[in-house]
Structure 1
Amino acid sequence: MLGIRLSDETEQRLEALAKATGRTKSYYAREAIEVHLDTLEDIYLSERAIENLKSGNDCVLESDEFWHGLDN
């Protein structure tokens, strides 16, 4: 279960779409989340990875170093 607050404009648009198509607002909210979740994950997890690199919490490996010992 998920509760979200929407701007009045977004709520009105969602309500109009639901009424015009005979679907529920929940249907369209779920659709929007499912369609865009991959993109949001890419953006925010990439930002986190960059911050970890900048702060020194993570490092970039050369390809030889990465593959060394993995084929054993």
Structure 2
Amino acid sequence: MIAVRLPEEIEKRLEKLARITGRTKSYYVRQAILEKLEELEDLYIAEKRLEDIKLGKAETVPLEKVLKRHGLED
């Protein structure tokens, strides 16, 4: 369980959205957290991959090779 204090303006917007759509405020808070969490996870993975490439721990694959591997070549 997590308790979050929101600025009054955001709380009012959230209440209005919940009222208009018939969903709960908790639903929208969960959706927003899940969406942002996925973005942050993707960013972390990309940054880690870039660091590994710079350190020589990982290699890049040319786009043409990826397209060919997946049958998407021109």
Q: TM over 0.5, yes or no?
A: yes
SS at match of 1:27: helix
Q: CA RMSD in A?
A: 2.6
Do the aligned partners of residues 7 and 62 (structure 1) sit closer, same or farther apart at CA in structure 2, a change above 3 Å counting?
same
Residue by residue over 1:24-71, the C-alpha shift from the partner in whole angstroms, topping out at 9 and shown as x without a partner, is 00000001111121112344x47x86xxx7xxxxx812558xxxxxxx
TM-score by length of 2: 0.57
Matched residue count: 54
Identity of matched residues, %: 46
Q: Runs of 5+ in structure 2 lacking a partner?
A: 60-74
Counterpart in the other structure of 1:69: none
Counterpart in the other structure of 2:40: 40
Q: Following TM superposition, where does structure 1 have runs of at least 4 consecutive aligned residues deviating by more than 6 angstroms?
A: none
Counterpart in the other structure of 1:27: 27
TM-score by length of 1: 0.58
SS at match of 1:41: helix
CA distance in 2, matches of 1:2, 1:31: 15
Q: Runs of 5+ in structure 1 lacking a partner?
A: 54-58, 65-72
